[in-house]
A and B are shown apart, each in its own frame.
Chain A
Amino acid sequence: MIADLLNWFGDSAHWQGADGIPTRLLQHLGYTLLALAIALVIAVPLGLYVGHTGRGGVLLVGAGNTIRALPTLGLVTFLFLIFTESETATIIGLVVLAVPPILAGTYAGLQATDKGVVDAAEGVGMTGWQRLWKVEVPISLPLVLGGIRNAVLQLVATAAVAAYVGLGGLGRFLLDGLAVLDYTQVVAGAILTTLLAIVLDLILAAVQRALVPKGVRLAAAAASGKTVIVGGAA
C-alpha cells in the first residue's frame, strides 16, 4: 500500500494537466476561499449586530443548530437539481454551511465580552460604534476565528463530497478512484484532502493566537498568576 502510494505520488503524470494534483488542489482551495469570503460578508455583520444589540440571539442560535443537522450530500444534490450546474450549486451549498459556525463564533465572542469592560467603555464616553470597534470586536476576535476555523473544516470536507455532483477539486481523486476501484488513487485523494484541511487549520490557529489583544493576554496571565514581561516577545 505504502509503496503504491509512493509510486502514485512519484508519478509525474499526476502532477500536471487538468486533473493533476496542483490543479485539483487550487480548485479545492478556490471553492473553499470563495465560499468563505461570501459567508464572512454575510455572517460577521449579522453576528456583530445581534451580539452588540442582543436582539434576535435566541432565533440565531436555534437557526444555527437546525442548519448543523442539514445533511451536506442532500443539500448539494438538491441545489444541483435546481441550478443544474455543479459550481453554482456547490458554492451556494458551501455558503449555507459556513454561515452558521461563523455567526455562532461572532455572536459568542460578543456575548462573552466582560460586561464590566463594556460598561467602562461607556463610562469613559465611547459611543456605540466606538465600543463595538475598539472594545467588543478586538476582545471577541479569537472566538470569531474559532468559528471561522470550524467553517473552513466544514468547507474542505463538503467540497470533497460535492465531487459527486461533478465538482472539480480533490474530491475527484476520491470518487473517480472509487468508480474504477483504484484504491491507491482513493487513498492519495484522502491524504491530500486531509493535508489541506490540517494546513488551513494550523494557519488559522496561528492567526487566532496572534489576534488575542495584548491587554487580554496580560489579564489572562495575571489571573493565572504567571509573571508577565511587558513589552517582551509575546
Chain B
Amino acid sequence: MKQIVGVADMKVSNNPAEDVITYSLGSCIGLVIYDPVVRVGGILHYMLPESAIDKEKAVQKPFMFADTGIPRLFKTAYAMGAMKPRIKIFVAGGAEILDQNGFFNIGKRNYLALKKMFFKNKVMIDKQEVGGNINRTVRIEIASGDIFLKTSGSKEVKI
C-alpha cells in the first residue's frame, strides 16, 4: 500500500507492507529518513525555507516550511522507535528554473535551510539528488529501506 505525501505534508510509517511516496518535487525538498533496525521511515515534502514569513500559516501547515517541518519528521520517527545515530538520510528536489539566481532561487534556499539545520544538529546526508531543472518523485519501501527516484519522462531508478 502507498502512503502518499502531498505538498507541505509528511508521513512516517513502520508498516513493512507500505511504501511512502511523494510526487513532483520541483523547488520543494523531499527529505527521506529511515532507521533500518526498527524499520521506521518517512518523507517530508516542504515548500519553503523559513516559517518566519508567515507564523500563522506555519501553525496551520507546519510541513510547508523547513524549520517547522524537519524537527517534526525526526520527532515522529523517534516516537516510533527510530534513533538518531541509525537514521539514514536521502534528500531530493531543490530544482531551479533556468537563470533563477540569488534570492529568487527558492530551490537552493530550501536546500540551504536543511543543510544549515543538519550542520547545527550534526546530522549527515547519506545520499542526495538535488538541484538542476528537473522534477522528481521519490519513494521508500518501509520493509527494505530501498529508495527509488523517478524524473518525469524517465523510468524509476533505485538509489
Answer whether A and B are interacting partners: no
